[in-house]
Every structure is written in structure tokens, then in C-alpha cells.
Amino acid sequence: MKKSKPTKALGFVFRQARDYKFFIFLVIFIMLIYVGLDFVYPFAYKHIINSITQDEINSALIFSGLLSTILIYALSMLGHRIFRDIASFFLIRIEINTMRKTLNQAMAHVAKLSYKFYISTFAGSTARKINRGVGRMEDMFDVFLLDLTPTALVMITAVIILIKTNIIIGLILGISLVIFIVITLMLVKKRMQLDEVRNIRENKLSGVLIDSLTNNLTVKTFTGEPQEEKLFQNKSFSWAKATIKAWQFDTWIRVFQGSFIGFLEVGILFLALWFWRNGELAVGDIVFIHGNMNLLMFPMWTLGRFWRNFKRAEVDMQDLIKLMQKPIIIKSRTNAPALQIKSGQINFSKINFSYEKKTRNVLRNINIIIRPGEKVALVGPSGAGKSTFSKLLFRFVDPTRGKILIDNQDIKQVNLKTLRQSISLVPQEPLLFHRSIYENIKYGQPKADKLSIIKAAKLAHAHEFIKNLPRKYNSLVGERGIKLSGGERQRIALARVFLENAPILILDEATSSLDSISENLIQKALDNLMENRTTIVIAHRLSTIRKMDRILVFERGRIAESGTHKQLIKTSKIYKKLWQSQAGKFLG
């Protein structure tokens, strides 16, 4: 298991909070004040006891003199509480603003991660890593600034004071504290390792749950509830086993701490009484030593808990830190110029593409020029490279070799945002946000007005069903658009593309989810949309691409043949075979 660096999470937290340095130093200054006020207590009691145990005393005079000591002690107690609360008041400002900043940065960073990240990672698991990590930032601040640092200061100060009071007692206490701290840190280190295992299993458990809930329709369709329950139960058992092991280890830590603190307290008290018997300490000194020991008992007892909370927060933050450190592979180069579309010509030049392991080329030596305004269809068996062709154009992935030009501009050298704004995509399975229909359509053009949105909906033949909904354009579509039918989701996606009005269009079997009546209507709309636009159609149903200017036949990652439907049906064995296999299904 990879071990995390002890200061990694803390350094990350304070780097995130660097905009609030003034408030951090203010909190530290206030903390020094209330820690100092703690030590008024043993000095006050020492003074009181020594005053009232003198051989010859004037009670009235002593009493009047002790009133000021009692007042100072009372004010110190009140001051400790007030200053600690003031520190917490300013710390809240630091925590919330830093957490908000980190949430925003995490969201922005994850949104820019590669296509490979999204197809290999559970969305729910990623969300949990972000939420849990950001939530733990509050614990890091609280434990470090309000718990661990004051605890360390109290321990160091108490040992120095007791060494000056009695060097033997002070040294024994100091050595005992060092032993206690070392053993506690060793135990907590083991606990941290157990927490890492628990976190890994909890992430897997969360991923399985969200995957099952997201695909609930598939589960119901295949009556897969029992196997989903069994899979979840297996993961929950694994999580529970790791959690029990971690929590039970906590019990052993508490056993050690309680035993050590008890023996230390009794031992120091015995030594103080022994020195008193020999005349080396006064009664007030014994009370003073006991008072300092009382100040130490709480920090010692809570040190393990504070340190465990600190390390637990550190462990929980590792996933967030690793996530935010993932490199953004696909990005614009510095000061990259905007893509300028004049005609919309696309040129794939000597393109090869393979995934990281490079076991095989998904695309091999692709050389093709798509002319301005040309409508080109990509056909071929599954896995032939059609979808990868469009991913390369969007720069969801980059080619292993070769380059792609749009109007003689290398797409790797232009601004990525302007590249993607220049291409519209209607996928085979449209994905909608759990927002209103209005917001989903407007996503294609954030600055669009209501009239433009309604116009786009009409062009996509979506306006008819939208106006019949109770809340019309304000209707929520549900997660991934589940409240709408497949055809309705597709029409919302098409409306978004109409609104975006990009010069290059990619259709991934855009009418596949529609009934025959809607398909005919939208096909006419698509014909208008494709007019004067460079269009790429990824075809699964060959009956939809007979009107294309050119058809590219993919086979095993290469363009095997090219031509019109009429040409290919006569000369291409691959295309003819594909056509014949579907002709009976879609023609007639």
C-alpha cells in the first residue's frame, strides 16, 4: 500500500487558504493568549495554598490579599473561553471560504479530465471523493489550530514549568510524555493504514450502489434485483469487515492511553509527596504540580483522539488531492489562437490511434479530406473505429501519430473551447441534465433568449410535446432525462444542436430513438440543418445514409472503401454485405 506523506494534506489545506493568511495568523495569536491563560490556574492555587498554610498568619489580611488572586483566576477562566470562541469565529470564515474555493477548483479540474477517466471511473465515487475530502478540510483546520497545536504548547510549557519547580519530576514527566507520544503516533499510523483500506472498500461500495441505481431500468428489465442485492451485500460485507477491524483497533489505543495516563498521574503524585516529606517541596508546590498535571491530563487523553482525527482527515483527503493532481492531458496550449472556420474542410492526415497499452491500433493510417459542406457517412462493423474518428475530431483523445486539420488549422494548436464550440454532436443515446427542458436546450447557447430556444424546439419538433406538459419549458426531465421518452429526449438534444448552430455537425444515428412519424419529420429538419454544413454521420442503420455525398467503409481501424451508396453497392463486398444484412429489417 502506498503510504501518504504526513504533511501532504496539511500543506494542501494551507495552500488553499493562502488568501486568508491574516486571519490564520490572527487565530494563532489568539490561541497563544488562551493557552497562556490556562496556566494562571496552577499559579493561583499555589499562591492560595502557600498563603493559608503559613505558620503565623493574619486571616483577615490574607483573605483580603487573596481576593485579587481569585479575581485574576476568574478572569483568566472567562478570558480562556472568550478568546477560544473568538478564534473559532475567525476560523469559521477561513474554513468555509477555503472549502468553497476547493469545491469550485475540484469541479473545474475534474470537468477537464480525459475521456478515459470518465469511462473508467464511477461518477458517484468521484463525487464522494470530492465531498468527503472537502468536508475533511474543516477537521484539518479545527484539529490543527484548535486542538493539536494548543495541546503541544500546553505539554511543552507544563514540562518547562515543572523542571523549574523540581528538575527530577520535570524530567520524568518530559521523558514519559515523549514515550507516550511516540507510542501513540505508532498506533495511529497503524490505524491510518486500516482507514485507507476502509476508504477503498467504501468507495467501491458507493460505486456499486450508484451504478445499480443509475441503471435501475435495466435491473428491472432483467429482474436483476437479486444479483444486484448479492453484489451489494458482498461489497458491504467487505466494507464492514474493514470498518470493524479499524474501530476495534481504536479500543486498544484507548486501553493503552488510559493505563499510561493513570500510572503517570499516580507516579508523579507519589514523587511530589516524597519530596514534600523530605522538606524539598511545600504544600503549595504539591498543589502546583497537581494543577499542571491536571492541565496535562486532558491533552494527553485527547492527543490520541486529536491525532487520529487529524490522520483520518488526512487519509480521507488523499483521494481528493490525488484527484486534483491528475494531469489534464487534453488541453489548449498557452495563448492558443481561436479556431477560425471559413469553409469547414476537415483533413485527417496519416492518423494512427491506439489506447495506452498500444496492443493494437484502433485507427491505422487514416488519410481523408472531407470537403466544405460535404455530408459523409461512416459505416462498418462494431469496433471498426467509427466512434473513435469523431472523438479525435472533438479532441476527446489525441492521435498517436498524424494530425487533424480544420480549414488548414491543426486542432492541437488552436484553443480547445473554440474547437468544440465549432462542432455539434447528437449522440445515439442523448444525455440530459436533471434540470428543466428550458435549461437543457439553452445549454447549446447559454446567451440565447427565450424566443431562440422556442424556435430551436420547433425545428426539432419538440415544441408540440413540451407545450402539453404541466410546467411546459420549466418541466424537470429527471436524472439523465428519465422522465421523458427516448424520442422526446432525442428531440431535446436536437433542439440544443439547432440552437448551437455550429458549422460542423456530427450525427451518431440521431433518429434511432424516434418513432416513424417523428423520424420522418426530424429527418427533414436534419436535412435543413445539414445544408451548407460539413456533416459526419456515424451510421448504424444503413437505410439512413443513402443520400450522403460519400460513405467511408471502416474495417479493422482503416478506411477500406469509399464512395456513394450506388457505387459501393456495386463494387464493395464489405458494404454490400452490411447492406444485405440490414435490408430486410429497414427497407420495405
pLDDT in tens, 264-296: 888 888 888 888 888 888 888 888 888 888 788
Give residue 90's pLDDT.
Answer: 92
Across the chain, mean pLDDT equals 82
Q: Give the separation between CA 405 and CA 412, rounded to whole angstroms.
A: 9
Q: Does domain 336-422+502-588 have CATH number 3.40.50.150?
A: no
- Say if strands 534-538 and 504-508 run parallel, antiparallel, or are unpaired: parallel
3-state DSSP assignment of residue 527: helix
137-151, 250-264, 298-312, range with the lowest pLDDT: 298-312
Cα separation, 354 vs 401, whole angstroms: 9
Taking the CB of residue 490, how many other CB atoms lie within 10 A of it? 28
Map grid coordinates 478568546 to a residue. Answer: 83
| CB half-sphere exposure, 44, CA atoms < 13 A | 17
Residue from 187, 208, 204 nearest 242 by CA: 204
With both helix axes pointing from N to C terminus, report the angle between 8-16 and 283-325 in degrees, rounded to the nearest 10: 80
Q: CA dihedral defined by 280, 286, 289, 295, rounded to 10 degrees? A: 180
With cell 469509399, the residue in question is 562
558-588 burial: b if 16+ Cβ within 10 Å, else e: bbbbebebeebbeebebbeebbeeeeeeeee
pLDDT score recorded for residue 307: 78
Residue extent(s) of CATH 3.40.50.300 domains in the chain: 336-422+502-588
Q: Which amino acid is at 312?
A: R
Assigned architecture for domain 8-325:
Up-down Bundle (1.20)
Distance (Å) of CA 339 to CA 221, 426, 531, 587: 46, 21, 21, 41
Question: What letter does residue 336 receive in the DSSP assignment?
Answer: P
Encode 251-282 in three state secondary structure.
Answer: HHHHHHHHHHHHHHHHHHHHHHHHHHHCCCCC
Please say if the pLDDT value at position 100 is more than 90. Answer: yes
Per-residue confidence (pLDDT) for residue 517, from 0 to 100: 61
CA distances from 535 to 2, 373, 426, 501, 532 (A): 49, 7, 11, 12, 9
Least confident of 217-226, 262-271, 414-423: 217-226
pLDDT at 311 over 80: no
Domain with CATH 1.20.1560.10 in the chain: 8-325
Is residue 358 very low, low, confident or very high in pLDDT (cuts 50, 70, 90)? low
Round to whole Å and give the CA distance between 171 and 162: 8
